[in-house]
Amino acid sequence: MTNTLSPTEKATLLANTLPHIQHFYGKTIVIKYGGNAMTEEHLQKSFAQDIVFLKLIGLNPIVVHGGGPQIDSALNRLGKKGHFIQGMRVTDKETMDVVEWVLGGQVQQNIVSMINQAGGQAVGLTGKDANLIQARKKLMSNKENPTEPLDIGHVGEVTAINPSLIHTLVENQFIPIISPIGFNPEEGTTYNINADVVAGKMAQILHAEKLLLMTNIPGVLDKDGNLLTHLSTASIDNLIENGTISGGMIPKITSALEAAQSGIPSVHIVDGRIPHCLLLEMLTDNHVGTMITA
């Protein structure tokens, strides 16, 4: 593609980022990385460049990643098929073993390598490291029999986050890359936790200035496929009730709303299919998704 910007226009474009850099300088930004941005090579490259750029200009990006397609691929090779209830993966012991080595190994190390290749200093973590993400079994509501909640295996909910290791890494200019694997130190049990949920909890504990949840669509869409640029508590409740928000979007939206209600100044669901969507969202006025407010 031909570059049509003159040197003066390029300089003006850079100068226009100054107010945004000043606002976010020294602040923590939590980013949930997933969707197409994790599977398409040109989007992987732009994501890694964005993360390194944000770190170099004085922001503190914290990445929590997903890996659903990679888990499904690994399960298929073993002859297993993934099942979901209310957007959560049913996780038996064998599936949990696969989740752990895919997320904490293959996917995490690929992200670490990409960011380091782009000039950053990324470090991979799971919830087991320094008891980073403590968890317990999550029981799902049973619509058919409300008195008997659904047990979907090694699926967890966050009970506590120990941020001390994150603070140490950030202070030494490292970029934490976190796999959403929780651990119960009393039971010695490992849990699969939804990455959007972990990102939301991490943003709350770290008092982040902004939470960004990357997705495969332009943002939250209404029943006609139109982008909803702003959602509040009341509108989210209505959209869940009428089925507009369903499946895997439910934990994403509820996590975003909980983070907003906890005091995170800015929560956005962004279109990860757009190259450099993080820079567009952070350093320009061209927002690329749905803003969630309490």
Q: Which residues are annotated as a binding site?
A: 67-68, 89, 192
CA distances from 153 to 40, 156, 171, 215 (A): 31, 9, 37, 26
Query: Distance between CA atoms of 94 and 98, rounded to whole angstroms?
Result: 7
Residues in the chain: 294
Closest C-alpha among 228, 200, 218 to residue 274: 218
Q: Is the dihedral of CA 47, 49, 52, 55 positive or negative?
A: negative
State the pairing for strand pair 88-89/84-85: antiparallel
3-state secondary structure 90-121: CECHHHHHHHHHHHHHHHHHHHHHHHHHCCCC
Q: Which two tokens stand for residue 45?
A: 């490259």
Place of tokens 């409300």: 146
Annotated binding site for substrate: 67-68, 89, 192
